[in-house]
Amino acid sequence: MSHTQVGLDLATELVIALRAQNSTLAVAESCTGGLLSAAITDVAGASEVFDRGFITYSNQAKTDLIAVPAALIERNGAVSAEVAAAMADGVLKNSTADFSAAITGIAGPGGGSANRPVGLVFIAVGKRGDRTNVQRHTFGDTGRAGIRNAAVETSLTALLNAMGPA
């Protein structure tokens, strides 16, 4: 699957901003399955600023790889603000990165409900030594690829915003 030009432009802007701030990034992805990592590593020079990506598609992976408490997932559901925040925090605890991003959502076509519709995505951005910010997005049932691409582009924008002015 190819990335949108907007995503590639945002990823390029992010790599440049991270380099300018001498900062690094690590991510955890669930519903995007590595698309955010791929968008970032499509940019030449990303190796200077991109530390690692965790693909935590299953609940067990979230617990095993980035220490998201199983009880938190059971209590709130994997697609929740609480789990997204725990994912972003877990990335920082399991890397040396300055910034983290985490994505969890329902890309469809199944798996949605009245409370958690297809297209619901939580994006968390963490900064070492600071509070993790979580955003709730409802992208609508635009198809699996549409939801996943929107989540990547929105994550890149959220990371750029978290970094502040260059």
Sketch the domain layout of the chain as residue ranges. 5-163
Q: What does CATH list as the number for 5-163?
A: 3.90.950.20
**pLDDT band with cut points at 50, 70 and 90 for residue 94:** very high
Q: CB–CB of 15/21 below 8 Å?
A: no
φ/ψ of 120, rounded to 5, equals -80, 125
Q: How far is CA 41 from CA 84, 89, 146, in A?
A: 22, 22, 20
Name residue, tokens 């220490």. Answer: 67
Average pLDDT, the chain: 95
Q: CB–CB of 50/38 below 8 Å?
A: no
**pLDDT band with cut points at 50, 70 and 90 for residue 1:** very low
**pLDDT band with cut points at 50, 70 and 90 for residue 63:** very high
Q: What is the pTM of this model?
A: 0.95
How confident is the model over 109-147, as pLDDT tens digits? 998 888 899 999 999 999 999 999 999 999 999 999 999
pLDDT for 72 beyond 80: yes
Region 5-13: what's the mean pLDDT? 85
pLDDT for 4 beyond 70: no
pLDDT for 6 beyond 80: no
pLDDT for 151 beyond 80: yes
DSSP 22: T
Structure confidence at residue 3 (pLDDT): 54
Structure confidence at residue 2 (pLDDT): 47
Q: How far is CA 32 from CA 21, 108, 120, 135, 144, in A?
A: 27, 12, 12, 16, 9
